[in-house]
Structure 1
Amino acid sequence: MLPKFDPTDQKACLSLLEDVTTNVKQIQDSVLEAILSRNARTEYLSGFLNGQVDKQSFKKNLPVVTYEDIRPYIDRIANGEPSDLICDRPISVLLTSSGTSGGVPKLIPLTTDELEQRISFASLYRPLLYKYVEGIRERKSFMLYFVTRESETASGILVRTMITCVLKSLKPSNSFIWDQTQISPHGISTCSDTTQSMYCQLLCGLLQRDNVGRLGAPFASSFLKIIKFLEDHWPEFCSNIRTGRLSDWITDPQCVSGIGKFLTAPDPELASLIEQECSQTSWEAIVKRLWPKAKCIEAIVTGTMAQYIPLLEFYSGGLPVISTFYGSSECFIGLNLNPLSKPSDVSYTIIPCMAYFEFLEVGKDYQETGHDPAEKPVVVDLVDVKIGHDYEPVVTTFAGLYRYRLGDVLRVTGFYNNAPQFHFVGRQKVVLSIDMDKTYEEDLLKAVTNAKLLLEPHDLMLMDFTSRVDSSSFPGHYVLYWELGSKVKDAKLELDPNVLEECCFTIEESLDAVYRKGRKNDKNIGPLEIKVVKSGAFEELMNLFLSRGSSVSQYKTPRSVTNEEAVKILESNVVSEFLSRKTPSWELHELYSNR
C-alpha cells in the first residue's frame, strides 16, 4: 500500500513517485504477500490455497476470474453474510460501476482502508500539475463532480458510486481543505439533485472566473455535458449575476447556502461580460473566454473518450487537456506522469502499491494468447510485460478481488524507471458482429474518427454516437446513431446526403478484412447505415442509465446498445437515415493477416 505522505509537500510527493516506480518488483512481491497473509482464512482463499500463501501456490491454484465468478460471494455479503467470505476487513461500501460498458452495474467491495488509499493516490497528482503547469497553484481548481442517491443492501451496506463515496467520506478537516482549494463549496458538490448542483457549481465558477486556475470533470463526456448545460442556461446565469438574486427553483439548502457566499450583490458588469461572450455566433474557445486565467482542462480523454478530443479542442481555446489517471471501480491503477502530453499520446504509469498486478496477453484480434484454450490462461507479472504488446490487466486487491480480469486492453509504451507505462486501447469487447465479423471498440472508434473528418469542411461536429446490429432483415447490417452539431451557434443543420453516405463508406473501408469480405463477396452483411438523431437524444439515453444507478460523473456513452429501451429512445429521435452506396474493397492477403 502507499506509504503515508503529506500531499501538500510537493517535493515529498515527487520523491515518493520516484521510489515506488523504481522498486517495482520488491513492492509487488510485498503487496501480494500482505494480501495473502491478511486474507488467508477467508472462505474464498482458503478454498484454493489450503493455508499456503506463497506466490507460487497463488499462481498455481487460484483461477483467473471475471465478475460473474466472484459475484455469488458479493451477493452473499450484500444479503448479510460476513465480509470474511472474501476479505478480513469489513466491507464498508459496495461500489456500483457505471453500468454502461457491460449493460448492468457491478457491485465492487471496498473497505475503509482501501478508500483512504484511493484518496491518497488521487492526491499524488496535484504536485505533478504544479511541476509541469506554470502558475496553476496561484488559483483554485474548478472541477465539477456530482453525487448520486445512494442505497443500501439488505444487510445495510451502502451502495455508492466511487465519486459519491469519495465526496461523502471526506472528514471535516478535508472538507475545509476542499473549500480552500476548490471553486465550488463541498456542500454544493454533495447535493444529490444533479441539476441544482450543476447549476450552482457553474454559477460559482462564473462568479469567481478570475480565480479559476484549472477546470474540468472526471470524463471528457461529462465536461461536454456541462458545456451544453451552460449553453442552455447562460441567460439565466446572467440574470442571477445582474440582480444578485438566485433563481427561485434552486431550493436545495446546501446549494442555497453555498452560493450565498458568492452571490452577495448585483454585478451588472460581470453579467454583461458573460452575455457578450455567450451570445457570439460561435462557441469556439468559450472556455478560455469565460475563464481567462485557466491553465488547463482536466478530463479523461483516453479509450472511448478519445472521440471527444476535437470537441474539447473546439471549446477550449488552446488550453491543454490533461488526462490525470487510469482507474476503475475495482482498483486505482496508474498516473499520467507527463501531464502536458498530447491527448492521443497519453500513457499511464502503473503505481505498484495499489494492488497486485498481472497481465493476460491478448493478440491483435483480442484473443488470449500463449495458452491452450482448454488450459488456464497464462499471465505475466507487472515487471515482465513487453513494449508494444497488448494486455488485459488482472488485479488482486486488498478488498477481496483475486486474479480478477478488468476487461480493458492496454498497450505497453515504455517504462518510467522500472514501472511499465500503458496506453489505454479500449474494452476487450466485441461491440458489433453479424456473421464471421468481430468489430471491437477500438476498431469502431478508429473508423468513426476517419469518417468524421469528412464533416469538417461543412462546419459540422459529431457530438456523440453509438451503434447496434439490425437483424430485422437479411442480411443484417451495422447501424450507427450520430448526433451532429454546428460550429456556428443556432445554425440550422444542413445535411448533404452525399457527405453522409461517404461517411458510411469510409467507416466500412476502415473496418477489418473479415467485415469487408462479408460485405463484398459473401453478401452476409448489408450496407452500413448512419441514422442522424435530434439534438438531445443522447441526453435522453444518459437519463435512462442514470435512472438505473449510474451518475453524471461516471457515465460513459455505450458504444453499442442492445437494450430495447435504449434502442427505442434512439429510434424515436431519428431525423434522417443514410446508407453506404459503395461496397468496400478487400484483398485475400488482408484476410489472413487479420487472423
Structure 2
Amino acid sequence: MDGKKLEYKGGEAVKELERLTRKAGEVQEEILRKILAQNWGTQYLNKYLYMGGGGGMGDAVSQFKKRVPVITYKDIRPYILRIASGEDSNLITAHPITEIICSSGTSAGEPKLMPSIAEDLDRRTFLYNLIMPIMNQHVPGLDEGKAMYLYFVKAEMSTPCGLPARTVLTSYYKSAHFKHRPHDPFNDFTSPDAAILCYDSDQSMYCQLLAGLIHRQRVLRLGAVFASALLRSISFLERHWRDFCQDIRSGELNEGITDSGCRSAMLDLIGPLDPDLAEEIEDICSQTTSWKGIICRLWPNAKYIEAVVTGSMSQYVPALKYYSDDKLPLVCTMYASSECYFGVNVNPLCEPSEVSFTLLPNMGYFEFIPLGENGSLFMDFEEEDEEEEVPQSKLVDLVHVKVGCYYELVVTTFSGLNRYRIGDVLQVTGFHNHAPQFRFICRRNVVLSIDNDKTNEEDLHRSITAAVKRLLEPRHALLVEYTSYADTSSVPGHYVIYWEINNTIHPQEPPVSAEAVEECCIAVEEGLDYVYRRCRTNDKSVGPLEIRVVKAGTFEKLMDLFIAQGGASINQYKTPRCVKSKAALKLLNANVSSCYFSPRYPAWDA
C-alpha cells in the first residue's frame, strides 16, 4: 500500500474515501492484480496457477477466479503452523510475515492464528485515520476536548521460530503507528499510553478510569472497542469509585497499582490533591438509588459513546442506553477482524439496529457467497454445510452484490489468505457511490442444534431480546448477559440459556418471579424458527428450553477465564453465544442460582 495514504487527514481523508468508493470496481481489480503479482510464486498459489501463455496479470486474474478454491481455516492452518515453526513465508506470501495475529477464539471456540506482514499495519492505520474525519462531519467541535477510550492489550507470546503472536489490537497499540501518532486534538486521549499498554487488565482499567475521571469535564467522547468492555468498566467503576475519590483527594495513587509504567504516568497525571473534584465524583456515585444515567452525570460534556454494538454486541444496547439515560448516540464506526479490516460506517449517528458498513475496496480483495434473499436466508443455512466445497462460479464480486440479499464474506489478502471464508453473514443495505454497504447479521458457525433444528446467533438473539422486552423490562429487570449450549446429556436434548439478571436497577421493586422466568422460557421458544418449534411440539425430539439464572458477576468470571486461556484481551473479547468449553460450562454451572423450564409446548402450525 502506498505509505503516503497514511497522511490523509480531515477533508483529504474524506476525499480519498469518496475516490475509492466511486471507483470501487477498478480499485478491487487493481488490488487483486497486485496481490497476485506479489504472491504468484508462493507454494500455495503454485498449486492452482501457472505462468504461461503471455497473458500477464490479466491471465493471472482469470486463472485465480477459475481455479483457486474457497477455503476455511483448517485448509490454511498447516501453512501458518509451518511458518510459525520457522519455514519461509514464501509458502503463502512473498513478503516476510512479521507477526502472527491471534483471533479472540470466542466466536468459534478456539483462537485462530493469522499471518500478518508489515504492510497490514499501514492498511489498519489508513482505516483508523478515516474515523475522525467522518465523525467530525456529524459531530462538530470534537477537537475542543478529550477522548476517553478504554483500550487494553494482551500479553504476547512467541512462535517456535520467534515471531510475536498477539491480538490485532495489541499489535496496533504496540506499533509505531499508535505510539508516534500525530499530536493533534483528535488523538488527545485521557489515558496515558503506559496505562493502555499495561498487561495487567485490572491495573490498566483502574488507571484508565481514574484518568477519565480526572479529565471528566473535558471528555467529549468515550467508549471501548466492544460494548461489553465498556459495560465491564462501569461495573469496575461501581466497585472502585471510593478508591478513585481517595486518590484524587489525596494526590496519591492506590498502592495496588504496582506496574512501574502505570504508576509513573498516573502520578504525573494526578498532580496536586483535588478535594473539590473528589467531592463532585463522590456526590454523583453515592447519592443515587440507581446508576441510571451515570455516564452523563460523570462525563457531562460527552457527545457520544463509541463501541461495537452490532451482531452479538447488540445485546448490550439496552444497558448502554440505561447507563447513559438514553441521551447519548451509540456510535459504531468500523468493521474489522483479525484476518482483515473491512470498512467504515459513513452514517455514524444512525440507530444501532441500522448500522451498515461501507466496505473499502483497497483493504483486500472481497468476494461473496450468496446465501439467499429475505426469508430464504436461514433455509440456505440449513442446506449448506460450512465445510462443503463452494464452486468458484458461485462467488460474487464486491460491486455486483444485490441490495437486500445475504452473503458470506470471502477475502483475499496480501499476507497470504486466498479466498478465505471469514464466517460473517452480511446483508446488503445499499451503496455509497459504487461500494456496497452491509449490515452485519451473525457468525455462521455459532449455532445450537439438537436434532434437525439449527438455531443461528441472530435467531437466538432476536428471540431472547423479544422475551426480555416483553417480560423482564416491565418488571424493571435488566438482562446483563447471556450464553447458551445444547445439552444432550439426556434424551431428548434441550437448549440451555444462561442468564445474568440485574434486579437492582429499581431497589423498591421485588425480584423477578419464577413464573416470569418460566414465561421467558416459552417466549424464547416461540421466537425461534419453524423447525425448532416443530421438533419441540410435533416430533418431540427436543426437550423444554431451560433458563439457568446465574449469580451477579458470573459473566465477568467467564471473560476472565477466556482471557486467561490465552485468547482475547478485554478489548477483543466477545461473550460466546454458544459455549462448548468444558471449563466454561463448569464455571457457569457452579454459579447457577436457579433453574427454570418452559412450562408448555410452543405454538406450532403444521
CA contact (8 A) 1:430 1:438 kept: no
CA contact (8 A) 1:542 1:555 kept: yes
Q: 1:209 aligns with which of 184, 207, 216?
A: 216
Q: 1:569 aligns with which of 562, 587, 591?
A: 587
1:281-296 to 2 correspondences below 5 Å: 281-296=289-304
Supply the distance in 1 between the matched residues of 2:592 and 2:365 (Cα, whole angstroms): 47
CA contact (8 A) 2:117 2:415 kept: yes
Question: How far off is 1:429 after superposition?
Answer: 2.1
Supply the distance in 1 between the matched residues of 2:166 and 2:66 (Cα, whole angstroms): 35
CA contact (8 A) 2:69 2:390 kept: no
Matching residue of 2:598: 580
Matching residue of 1:298: 306
Q: 1:365 aligns with which of 361, 371, 378?
A: 378
Asked if 1:121 is matched to 2:130, the reply is no
Asked if 1:219 is matched to 2:226, the reply is yes
Matching residue of 2:165: 159
Matching residue of 1:185: 192
1:29-40 to 2 correspondences below 5 Å: 29-40=29-40
Matching residue of 1:376: 391
Supply the distance in 1 between the matched residues of 2:144 and 2:8 (Cα, whole angstroms): 14
Question: How far off is 1:180 after superposition?
Answer: 5.7
Question: How far off is 1:2 after superposition?
Answer: 6.5
CA contact (8 A) 2:132 2:186 kept: no
Question: How far off is 1:276 after superposition?
Answer: 1.2
CA contact (8 A) 2:366 2:410 kept: yes
Matching residue of 1:22: 22
Supply the distance in 2 between the matched residues of 1:488 and 1:385 (Cα, whole angstroms): 45
Supply the distance in 2 between the matched residues of 1:283 and 1:16 (Cα, whole angstroms): 43
Matching residue of 1:411: 427
Q: 2:66 aligns with which of 40, 57, 60?
A: 60
Supply the distance in 2 between the matched residues of 1:492 and 1:95 (Cα, whole angstroms): 47
Secondary structure at the aligned position of 2:485 is classed as: strand
Supply the distance in 2 between the matched residues of 1:246 and 1:91 (Cα, whole angstroms): 41
CA contact (8 A) 1:2 1:354 kept: no
Matching residue of 2:276: 269
Supply the distance in 2 between the matched residues of 1:180 and 1:507 (Cα, whole angstroms): 44
Question: How far off is 1:447 after superposition?
Answer: 0.6
Question: How far off is 1:210 after superposition?
Answer: 1.1
Of 395-404 and 132-141, more deviation after overlay is shown by 132-141
CA contact (8 A) 2:93 2:414 kept: yes
Matching residue of 1:112: 118
- Give aligned pairs, total: 588
Secondary structure at the aligned position of 1:288 is classed as: helix
Supply the distance in 2 between the matched residues of 1:431 and 1:396 (Cα, whole angstroms): 26
Matching residue of 1:388: 404
CA contact (8 A) 1:361 1:369 kept: no
Matching residue of 1:552: 570
Q: Percent identity?
A: 48
Question: How far off is 1:512 after superposition?
Answer: 0.7
Counterpart AA for 2:458 = E
Instruction: Give the TM-score of the pair, scaled to structure 1.
Output: 0.96
Question: How far off is 1:8 after superposition?
Answer: 6.8
Q: 1:200 aligns with which of 207, 212, 224?
A: 207
Matching residue of 1:591: none
CA shift in 2, pair 1:555/1:356, >3 Å? same
CA contact (8 A) 2:6 2:129 kept: no
Supply the distance in 1 between the matched residues of 2:150 and 2:379 (Cα, whole angstroms): 35
CA shift in 2, pair 1:352/1:166, >3 Å? same
Supply the distance in 2 between the matched residues of 1:554 and 1:535 (Cα, whole angstroms): 22
Asked if 1:312 is matched to 2:312, the reply is no
Counterpart AA for 1:274 = I
Supply the distance in 1 between the matched residues of 2:380 and 2:250 (Cα, whole angstroms): 61
CA contact (8 A) 1:179 1:186 kept: no
CA contact (8 A) 1:505 1:580 kept: yes
Q: 1:74 aligns with which of 49, 74, 80?
A: 80
Asked if 1:345 is matched to 2:354, the reply is yes
Supply the distance in 1 between the matched residues of 2:116 and 2:575 (Cα, whole angstroms): 25
Of 69-78 and 513-522, more deviation after overlay is shown by 513-522
Question: How far off is 1:353 after superposition?
Answer: 0.3
CA contact (8 A) 1:141 1:183 kept: yes
Deviations 1:240-298 (A, max 9, x none): 11111111111111111111222112211111111111121111111111001111110
**CA RMSD after TM alignment:** 1.9
Counterpart AA for 2:92 = I
Question: How far off is 1:174 after superposition?
Answer: 2.1
Of 276-285 and 60-69, more deviation after overlay is shown by 276-285
Asked if 1:251 is matched to 2:250, the reply is no
Secondary structure at the aligned position of 2:224 is classed as: strand
Secondary structure at the aligned position of 2:270 is classed as: coil
Q: 2:343 aligns with which of 324, 334, 340?
A: 334
Counterpart AA for 1:112 = A
Supply the distance in 1 between the matched residues of 2:473 and 2:427 (Cα, whole angstroms): 30
Asked if 1:144 is matched to 2:150, the reply is yes
CA shift in 2, pair 1:297/1:424, >3 Å? same
Supply the distance in 2 between the matched residues of 1:161 and 1:386 (Cα, whole angstroms): 34
CA contact (8 A) 2:503 2:511 kept: no
CA contact (8 A) 1:533 1:575 kept: yes
Secondary structure at the aligned position of 2:402 is classed as: coil
CA contact (8 A) 2:476 2:506 kept: no
Of 151-160 and 359-368, more deviation after overlay is shown by 359-368
CA contact (8 A) 1:202 1:230 kept: yes
Counterpart AA for 1:331 = C
Question: How far off is 1:135 after superposition?
Answer: 2.1
Instruction: Give the TM-score of the pair, scaled to structure 2.
Output: 0.94
CA shift in 2, pair 1:321/1:448, >3 Å? same
CA shift in 2, pair 1:264/1:491, >3 Å? farther
Question: How far off is 1:175 after superposition?
Answer: 7.5
Deviations 1:93-138 (A, max 9, x none): 1000001011110011111111121112111111011110122221
Supply the distance in 2 between the matched residues of 1:515 and 1:584 (Cα, whole angstroms): 10
Question: How far off is 1:487 after superposition?
Answer: 5.0
Counterpart AA for 2:602 = P
CA contact (8 A) 1:335 1:350 kept: yes
Supply the distance in 2 between the matched residues of 1:556 and 1:375 (Cα, whole angstroms): 29
Secondary structure at the aligned position of 2:348 is classed as: coil
Question: How far off is 1:375 after superposition?
Answer: 6.4
Secondary structure at the aligned position of 1:94 is classed as: strand
Question: How far off is 1:442 after superposition?
Answer: 0.8
Secondary structure at the aligned position of 2:533 is classed as: helix
Q: 1:97 aligns with which of 77, 92, 103?
A: 103
Question: How far off is 1:173 after superposition?
Answer: 3.1
Supply the distance in 2 between the matched residues of 1:153 and 1:240 (Cα, whole angstroms): 41
CA contact (8 A) 1:6 1:13 kept: no
Structure 1: give runs of 5+ residues left out of the alignment.
589-595
CA shift in 2, pair 1:369/1:337, >3 Å? farther
Q: 2:447 aligns with which of 428, 431, 434?
A: 431
CA shift in 2, pair 1:375/1:218, >3 Å? closer
